[in-house]
Structure 1
Amino acid sequence: MELRQLRYFVTVVEEGGFGRAAERLGVVQSAVSQQVGRLERAWGVRLFERTTRRVLLTGAGERLLPEARAVLSAADRTARVAADITAGDDGILRLGGIHGPGDRIDRVLAELSSGAPGLRVSLHRMPVTRRLEAVREGELDAALVRALPDEPGAVRGLEALPLWSDPLYAALPGDHPLAAEPEPRLDLLARLPLRLAPQDRNPPFHALVAGVFRAAGVRPVDGPPFTDLRATLTAIGTDREPSWTLFYEVRGLPEGPRVAVRPLAGLAVTTALAVRPGPPGPALRHLLRVLRAVG
């Protein structure tokens, strides 16, 4: 059975004969008769009673007519959805997400929903290394990643398309002299032991930190281990030996007893969209436009 055969069958019914059906379809009458005959043989039923004066549906044809129309309607609907997907107005976009800062991601999703109502975003949360690997393997269409170097192509096997930048922050003891500075300088903070998470937990952030220290011409002093931000802030505020850490905002700036949080002078973290190399498809172009507008 072919869709063409179903379409010829339905057209013969709607036009009341093979000749008029052929005119509407833009083919010769013998082509319509041939395709309807093949359909009858495939199904093992007679669809029409043919006389010299008119063509009438058989009982089998009358029963099969609504089913044929339903199949054709579904095929047309599928073709329209495929066309919308090709245009980027429909489909499912699998996106690796990040937290915050602020309501930026919520606004991106709202803008996409307004501009392309048929396009659904499937948001996936996972560690950054897994997120990037999922894009490489085709499990995700794209992933938001923070702390990438500014230049595209900085992520192995992927393209990183910069979106926006946010300040980097330092957390240090509230009674330290540098806490009085509205934006402490990195070369002065570098004299204090730095609490930093292991590299394998967030390689892009480690690369960013190494880059900013290198650009400042200083080397960090290794400090006690960074566990999580809350525990690290507590340790910075209570330990006798001063230390510090640096981070980017996720869900608002954290607070801790006897801890000062200050933006680092002239330093920012870039958020990028990691995609596979090559021109982005229509859905990704929609996403990029909205990401950059919101950012």
Structure 2
Amino acid sequence: MDKKKIDTENSKKLTIGIDAGGTKIRGVLMKNGEVLKKSEKLHDAQIITKEVFLSSLSSVIDEIWDKQTSKIGLGLPGPIENGRVQDGGRVKSLDEVDFEKIIEKKYKIKPIIANDAKVALRFEAKKYNKINSIFMITLGTGVGGGWFFNGKIMTGSFGSAYEVGQTIFNPNNPETFETKLSGRGFFRNLKTLPIESENAARAGSSYHKKIWQEFGTNLGLIIANISNLIEPELIILGGGIVHAWPLFIKTTKEIAKKHILSPTAKKKLLIAKAVDDRWAGAIGAAILAQESGK
């Protein structure tokens, strides 16, 4: 094979990765692990309709598009089944939108679609290539989760597994762990925002320090549940709320250790903070697409 043909084949290995959320959409164009282009767009509306979301998505893809693009990875909020969002959380207008059909029709590429927590996890897993089992919890407006095992993102039998935020905290209300850990649940119920409570606690407010202790307790319980169920070697905590790490992590580790069954897991389970990289989700989506056989 001559050099010109080799270069042509290599030039086709361009992948777009998209991290699409309720506030903004970020995208990257990658080749052989290197980011070539980036694009970011805030939604131009207070109410995110299907049309607003798709307009932002197209704008980002168009800005980084290259005619040699061969794969597209798309991270979306909420559980994903058959390429469709089942519960968009803040973005209810996304429920049951056929993103696969829409993207394939416009760009002639069938996208690889995954939950936003799972694409963020795929980015994080790059750093820990010697660890076989990694679970990630994302803590923000909602609570997401994903499991990386034996070199792959696990999806369950139907595609939407490991949504730890939807596990039950109190069956009598009913309350999920999302209501006890998220911005739209835990902090809204206390009539505050995570950043407001964080700032107040750092300034010395005993009331807000107690809020973060309660948050840390709730987080420790879900970590113990995860450990007792699948025993990962590492649990990564990501999302905007993790910015308050010093206010809750000591309590979280104490509660997790108290309720983890395995003596070995009590000693060896690692809990780490995610990398502070706003492009992590988009890069993770691109990696998932690159790894797919499609």
Q: Structure 2 length as normaliser, TM-score?
A: 0.31
Q: Structure 1 length as normaliser, TM-score?
A: 0.31
